[in-house]
Structure 1
Amino acid sequence: MTADEILALLQTDEGRRAPYPLYERLHELGPVSLTPASTAYAAVANGYAAVDQILRDPRFVKGGPPPGPDADPVSTALGNSMMFRTEPDHGRMRRAFHQAFTPRRVAELEPEIVALTDSLLDRLGVLGADGPVDFIAEFGYLLPAGVMSALLGIPAPDLEWFRTRVQRVEDYLDFGGRTVEKVAAANEAAVEMSAYYQQLIADRRVAPGNDLISGLVQVIDSGDSVLTDEELVGNLLVLFNASFVTTINLLGNALPPLLERPSLVKALAADPVVAEACVEEVLRWDGTAQVVVRTASEDLSVGGVTIPEGGLVLVILGAANRDPARFPSPEVFDAERADKRHITFGAGAYFCIGAVLARAEGRLALPRLFQRFPELALAGAPVQSAGFALRGFATMPVTLT
């Protein structure tokens, strides 16, 4: 089977649900494969060392220039964010937001994360008292959304309004799944969320608080042109989407392998060290982010393969995390694995800015979940999300006792 054929299968419904056997096929071909017959990509990178090299090499470019005046709403919003801009704009924007995600700032948030977790577990207990409850909708979504609400200063009653709009943007960003209908839905969502953030910025100018938006508005208004209002809106849209979708998928992806290992669940609930190890192994074994794209700015050699100038490279993080050259028996979920240094959050200049927050939410929430509901079990088959780039579950029915 060629790399082109494997990529085609990865973008089918079956391939999206079960990509890992196809990743094994890619590894048999080598760490990097050229795809001359592909209309979209010049190469696919799946080996851990090759993926790490590409992500750290600035000659493999991500992003582009600022959006033009004729760009559609979703392209404009995304193009005004650090995630979709090249240097020096990427670094300038990233530095403005970095203060919110330092280990010290996240440590200061931990009491709020714990309090919110306990409140949501109380609510989950009520909802699940008489039968199955959807873990994703009633806990997995609400915890990271609530944390981002506290961080950004978004009123908690508005969070449900965000959910469908965030999903429309995620559907638009997914590789190989963009349709006319998805583009229209994403444009509508981008217009609505941009207007929401613009109003929130205006409100913070009148009545600032202790949240991140207030702090950034004050920096902008002080004359330090580190960000424009448009860039603040674009980054808020991307930041909210990326930060809480990552954690939803982390929490959901953790349950199936953990629930198959009752003794590990018991240890996780009692020992923070075990909890942290489990979070890292979940991120390796079934990572939330599966795929990113880079463009070769010149002819570049990776893994013994020369990628031509201008060629798009499909960089498969999920395959790198299952590379047998890096991880012995990579298909085995092993929380005691000596080396769990996965690449789910990327590497180099575009390393996920919210990684420290996602990790904190996972290691704090999962022990409390199993302390509260030690008999938690799946009540049926979870439904996998349709995406390829971001891997997670759309629904997951569970019983609590």
Structure 2
Amino acid sequence: MDFDTALASLFSAEGRRDPYPAYDVLRSHAPVFSALDGRWFVTTHAMTNRLLRDASLRVADAADYDSFWPDWRENRGVASIVLSMLQNNPPDHTRMRRAAAATFTARRVAALRDVITEQTVELIKAMPERADFMSAFAYPLPIGVICALLGVPAADRPWFRQRAADLTVVLEPISTEEEMSRADAAGRELEDYFIGLIAERQRAPQEDLTSALAAEGSGLTGAELLANLVLLLVAGFETTTNLLGTGLTILLEHPEQAARLRADPELAPAFVEEILRYDSPVQLTSRFTSVPIDLGDGGSLPAGASLNMLLGSANRDPARYPDPHRFDPDRPNIQPVSFGGGAHYCLGAPLARLEAQVAFPLLLTMLPRLAVAGVPVLRDRLVLRGYATLPVAAG
């Protein structure tokens, strides 16, 4: 595969099914290169890690969207993401992130372990002999957990799956008009729901994230509160769903490793880190340079450059991980860039990790004969990598 073919393959459905051969070609070409009308691509672990933590880099924010899409606010799916902390820069990002971090604490996440365990056991017990793992487990577990954290009543949780799935298309660089229309409808319905939930929690606060964020003194405007609740819901389930589906597939493809984890659940943290490295649920993240950046060896990035950081490529960089295409939970010092880095490091990463660390050992021990029972279908996505369907047999 030559360079041009490798780069083009990332923008084709066939190439996205297995992007790793293309990543190898692009990474061997250069750690950073410019192509496709001046867009820049970052391929190596060292350069990705460095640039993610560069405080001079910025994300596309409302002002940028105003310049190329003046009526973007009319699409409420897009608006809910652009107005959230995900698409804001300092000082607004700092203020929103501080408010969310003050409520989305390590203590609050750790306290969810029993909730995660209980929901995991219930879902495993309810799983049919033959099932789509994504529908039966990988979607409902993270939705149930994030809804418990936000204070969404259990009866309302099934309603969220399709809305959240429809909205995530706005995170992709490639989408159809129909997909964007569904994102708009989902955004409107989610905003309406959270407006009602916020009003309830302001009248009668509870021990949940919505109550904490809606309290006076949080520092969020009404629009920011709404946008960040939608973001927390969507981000709180999407990457974890992908992690669960991909992780189970990897474990079932490596039965000797699955047997180790089944015998010793304490290995779960290392297994989850290697799953995140081996097939990242987020494959790409974008930034813009606000000033020129010296890359060393005579290279530089100009101010205003659009950067596409290929996280999946960085995680399989042989300079950082020898024999990178081998699944090996015993690797020393596994530090995947799957959740980003720097100021925009994923706030929900500890929760996603905890859900996977609880779920995989329980799946393997409660369903020791669990196996793939059909042809899994990957979603056709460049940024968010995961399965649309994953047929399994429980025994």
TM-score, structure 2 normalization = 0.94
Shift of 1:45: 0.2
- Match status 1:6 vs 2:6: yes
- Paired residue for 2:143? 145
Aligned residue identity for 2:324: P
Residue in structure 2 matching 1:161, options 139, 159, 162: 159
Contact 1:3 1:44 (8 Å CA) reproduced: no
> Secondary structure of the residue that 1:200 maps to in structure 2?
helix
How far apart are the structure 2 equivalents of 1:356 and 1:249? 15
How far apart are the structure 2 equivalents of 1:162 and 1:382? 24
How far apart are the structure 1 equivalents of 2:290 and 2:77? 26
- Paired residue for 1:293? 286
Residue in structure 1 matching 2:82, options 58, 75, 79: 79
- Paired residue for 1:43? 40
Residue in structure 2 matching 1:240, options 233, 237, 245: 233
- Paired residue for 2:53? 56
- Paired residue for 1:312? 306
Contact 2:104 2:209 (8 Å CA) reproduced: no
- Paired residue for 1:28? 28
Contact 2:62 2:83 (8 Å CA) reproduced: no
Shift of 1:111: 0.9
Contact 2:78 2:170 (8 Å CA) reproduced: no
Alignment of 1:224-373 (within 5 A): 224=217, 226-302=219-295, 304=297, 305-373=299-367
Q: For 1:107-141, what per-residue CA distance to the aligned partner results, in whole angstroms no more than 9, with x for missing partners?
A: 111111111111111111xx22xxx2011111000
- Match status 1:109 vs 2:112: yes
Contact 2:103 2:213 (8 Å CA) reproduced: no
Deviates more, 1:185-194 or 1:353-362: 185-194
How far apart are the structure 1 equivalents of 2:28 and 2:112? 44
- Paired residue for 1:193? 190
Deviates more, 1:179-188 or 1:84-93: 179-188
Structure 1 residues 370 and 11: alpha-carbon distance in aligned structure 2, compared to 1, 3 A threshold: same
Shift of 1:396: 0.4
The percentage of counterpart residues that share the same residue type is 41
- Match status 1:399 vs 2:378: no
Structure 1 residues not aligned, in runs of 5+ = none
Structure 1 residues 2 and 95: alpha-carbon distance in aligned structure 2, compared to 1, 3 A threshold: farther
> Secondary structure of the residue that 2:369 maps to in structure 1?
coil
- Match status 1:215 vs 2:215: no
How far apart are the structure 2 equivalents of 1:264 and 1:383? 23
How far apart are the structure 2 equivalents of 1:158 and 1:62? 33
Aligned length: 388
Alignment of 1:381-396 (within 5 A): 381-396=375-390
Contact 1:60 1:294 (8 Å CA) reproduced: yes
Shift of 1:65: 4.1
How far apart are the structure 1 equivalents of 2:78 and 2:362? 40
Contact 1:99 1:105 (8 Å CA) reproduced: no
Shift of 1:275: 1.5
Structure 1 residues 12 and 303: alpha-carbon distance in aligned structure 2, compared to 1, 3 A threshold: farther
How far apart are the structure 2 equivalents of 1:29 and 1:107? 43
Q: For 1:160-213, what per-residue CA distance to the aligned partner results, in whole angstroms no more than 9, with x for missing partners?
A: 2222221222123212x2222222221111111111111111111222211111
RMSD: 1.7
Q: For 1:206-251, what per-residue CA distance to the aligned partner results, in whole angstroms no more than 9, with x for missing partners?
A: 2221111112222x3xxx2610121111011111111111111111
How far apart are the structure 1 equivalents of 2:135 and 2:387? 10
Residue in structure 1 matching 2:124, options 121, 125, 138: 121
Runs of 4+ in 1 over 6 A off after TM superposition: 66-69
Contact 1:280 1:340 (8 Å CA) reproduced: yes
How far apart are the structure 2 equivalents of 1:209 and 1:296? 42
Contact 1:65 1:86 (8 Å CA) reproduced: no
Contact 2:78 2:183 (8 Å CA) reproduced: no
Q: For 1:281-328, what per-residue CA distance to the aligned partner results, in whole angstroms no more than 9, with x for missing partners?
A: 000000111100011112223364322221101111110000111110
Shift of 1:3: 5.4
> Secondary structure of the residue that 2:383 maps to in structure 1?
coil
Shift of 1:348: 0.5
How far apart are the structure 1 equivalents of 2:207 and 2:342? 31
> Secondary structure of the residue that 1:159 maps to in structure 2?
helix
How far apart are the structure 2 equivalents of 1:107 and 1:172? 30
Structure 1 residues 251 and 182: alpha-carbon distance in aligned structure 2, compared to 1, 3 A threshold: same
> Secondary structure of the residue that 2:205 maps to in structure 1?
coil
Contact 2:142 2:241 (8 Å CA) reproduced: yes
Deviates more, 1:338-347 or 1:277-286: 338-347
Q: For 1:48-84, what per-residue CA distance to the aligned partner results, in whole angstroms no more than 9, with x for missing partners?
A: 1111111111212113247879522233222220001
Aligned residue identity for 1:138: A
Contact 1:269 1:275 (8 Å CA) reproduced: no
How far apart are the structure 2 equivalents of 1:225 and 1:270? 45
- Paired residue for 2:169? 171
Contact 2:248 2:360 (8 Å CA) reproduced: no
Q: For 1:10-68, what per-residue CA distance to the aligned partner results, in whole angstroms no more than 9, with x for missing partners?
A: 01011111100000011110211121xx13x5210011111111111121211324787
Contact 1:47 1:323 (8 Å CA) reproduced: yes
